[in-house]
């Protein structure tokens, strides 16, 4: 199988190269990049006016498989990933049962391989059953194929247990993906604590809920030498802490989700379940600091926290619906519309934060368009505008606050291992 991509703007973060040229894919690999490549190909793609980037990598998705496949399963999640331009995703372990042993890791790896639409890398739980008490057999799960450990959905509140897991992760060379939430401070909060929650008569979640655990986790990373990656940062102080930790030489990276850089509590129109996620939408000053943090490269990664739930579950309003929104099929467009087009990020930074940097966090050989690399590629028309329509999603989840929003940036092709897995 050969694919010749003609005249696209090739953005290759590994070489800091951005140039209109051709890209030839042969036998699953990028064979050649350059101008005027002549070659008989099975497929020729005219990419004029389009960006050609390394396939996007999402460090943070929930595929609900095993156990809650009415929300999503590995096949529908993979299809959503391909449609969103993603060629690798890391799926969080808060499934039913929890991913806390090699057998469940193997189940996910096998089912993802069968589906074949995206690379699915399972994340193993930090503690057995995510109960916060006993550290899992991380080495055994690593042998079965986990790419990281995480307790996403909550924090391991016992610092001694968490430190033990971090030491083990450091020894095994696995990153720790941290959901930062001091559960004792949440006190039934369902949205950010500010004027808006007061006005709506709902209980609030303060910034300290996140910041206290973020600071603890950074200190534990310093002590254990573990590679810490802070998930879904939502507060202005988290940006400050990450900046200072990096200056201190601590091995920390951080991600921001599209909803946190696109929306703030002012944008919540009504008591609507699709505006409920954890961490919640914060104040404008938090959102603006996150955008600045991305611009300054303090914040390394854009991830989705794709969290599908059923229509019925999300129709229960702010108080009663579960936390979480889908993101795989909107994140490239939201990044282009809200960060690149207004001038906060360059195309290069977009490719870094959505592909090259996540690959570095995982320590995998992806996220580049170098000759000889595995041909995971996305082709995006940045100028195509459309309205987000959840009914067109491949995901089973329709729970997005962005329905009807006009955006720029359409994924045209997703190529995985040299094969087209999605075509608009
Ligand atoms: O909004 C969220 N949804 N935050 C989490 O931490 C968990 C996730 C989920 O699993 O639904
Ligand atoms: Zn989380
Ligand atoms: Zn999550």
Per-residue pLDDT tens over the stretch 243-296: 999 999 999 999 999 999 999 999 999 999 999 999 999 999 999 999 999 999
Per-residue pLDDT tens over the stretch 327-381: 999 999 999 999 999 999 999 999 999 999 999 999 999 999 999 999 999 999 9
pLDDT number for residue 419: 98
pLDDT number for residue 246: 98
Q: Which atom of ligand 1 is nearest to the CA of 231?
A: 6
* pLDDT band of 175, cuts 50, 70, 90: very high
Protein residue closest via CA to atom 4 of ligand 1: 278
Per-residue pLDDT tens over the stretch 106-151: 999 999 999 999 999 999 999 999 999 999 999 999 999 999 999 9
Looking up tokens 């309205």 gives 387
Across the range 173-199, mean pLDDT stands at 98
Ligand nearest to the CA of 61: 3
pLDDT number for residue 247: 98
Tokens of 129: 């059953």
Give DSSP secondary structure letters for 284-331: HHHHHHHHHHHHTTSS-EE---B----HHHHTTHHHHSPS----TTTH
Ligand nearest to the CA of 309: 1
Within 6 A (CB) of ligand 1 lie 62, 94, 152-153, 179, 277-278, 305, 307, 322-324
pLDDT number for residue 152: 98
pLDDT number for residue 72: 98
Round to whole Å and give the CA distance between 262 and 50: 24
Q: What is the chain's mean pLDDT, rounded?
A: 98
Per-residue pLDDT tens over the stretch 228-247: 999 999 999 999 999 999 99
3-state secondary structure of 371: coil
Protein residue closest via CA to atom 1 of ligand 1: 324
Q: Which residues have their alpha-adjacent CB atom under 5 A from ion ligand 3? A: 152, 305
pTM of the model: 0.98
Nearest to 117 by CA among 152, 148, 73: 73
Give me the residues paired with residue 191 across strands: 204
Residues tagged active-site: 305
């Amino acid at each position: 199988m050969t694919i010749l991509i003609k005249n696209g703007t090739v953005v290759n973060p590994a070489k800091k190269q951005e140039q209109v040229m051709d890209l030839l894919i042969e036998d699953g690999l990028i064979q050649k990049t350059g101008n005027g490549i002549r070659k008989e190909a099975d497929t020729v793609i005219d990419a004029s006016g389009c960006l050609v980037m390394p396939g996007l990598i999402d460090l943070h998705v929930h595929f609900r498989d095993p156990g809650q496949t009415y929300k999503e399963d590995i096949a529908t999640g993979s299809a959503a990933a391909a449609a969103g331009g993603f060629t690798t995703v890391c799926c969080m372990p808060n499934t039913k049962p929890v991913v806390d042993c090699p057998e469940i890791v193997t189940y996910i790896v096998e089912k993802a391989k069968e589906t074949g639409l995206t690379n699915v890398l399972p994340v193993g739980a930090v503690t057995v059953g995510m109960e916060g008490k006993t550290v899992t057999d991380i080495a055994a799960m690593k042998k079965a194929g986990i790419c990281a450990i995480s307790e996403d959905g909550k924090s391991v509140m016992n610092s001694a247990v968490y430190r033990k897991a971090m030491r083990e992760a450091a020894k095994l060379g696995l990153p720790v993906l941290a959901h930062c939430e001091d559960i004792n401070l949440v006190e039934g909060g369902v949205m950010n604590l500010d004027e808006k929650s007061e006005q709506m008569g709902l209980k609030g979640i303060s910034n300290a809920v996140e910041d206290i655990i973020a600071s603890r986790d950074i200190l534990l990373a310093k002590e254990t030498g573990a590679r810490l990656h802070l998930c879904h940062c939502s507060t202005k102080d988290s940006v400050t802490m990450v900046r200072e930790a990096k200056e201190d030489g601590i091995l920390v990276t951080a991600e921001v989700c599209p909803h946190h850089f696109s929306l703030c509590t002012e944008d919540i129109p009504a008591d609507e379940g699709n505006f409920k996620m954890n961490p919640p939408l914060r104040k404008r000053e938090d959102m603006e600091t996150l955008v600045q943090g991305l611009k300054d490269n303090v914040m390394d990664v854009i991830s989705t926290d794709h969290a599908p739930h059923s229509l019925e579950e999300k129709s229960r309003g702010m108080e009663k619906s579960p936390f979480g929104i889908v993101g795989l099929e909107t994140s490239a467009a939201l990044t282009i519309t809200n960060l690149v087009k207004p001038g906060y990020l360059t195309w290069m930074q977009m490719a870094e934060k959505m592909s090259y940097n996540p690959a570095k966090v995982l320590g995998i050989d992806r996220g580049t368009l170098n000759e000889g690399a595995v041909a995971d590629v996305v082709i995006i028309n940045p100028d195509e505008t459309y309205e987000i329509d959840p009914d067109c999603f491949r995901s089973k989840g329709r729970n997005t606050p962005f329905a009807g929003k006009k955006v720029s940036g359409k994924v045209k092709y997703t190529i995985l291992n040299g094969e087209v897995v999605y075509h608009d």
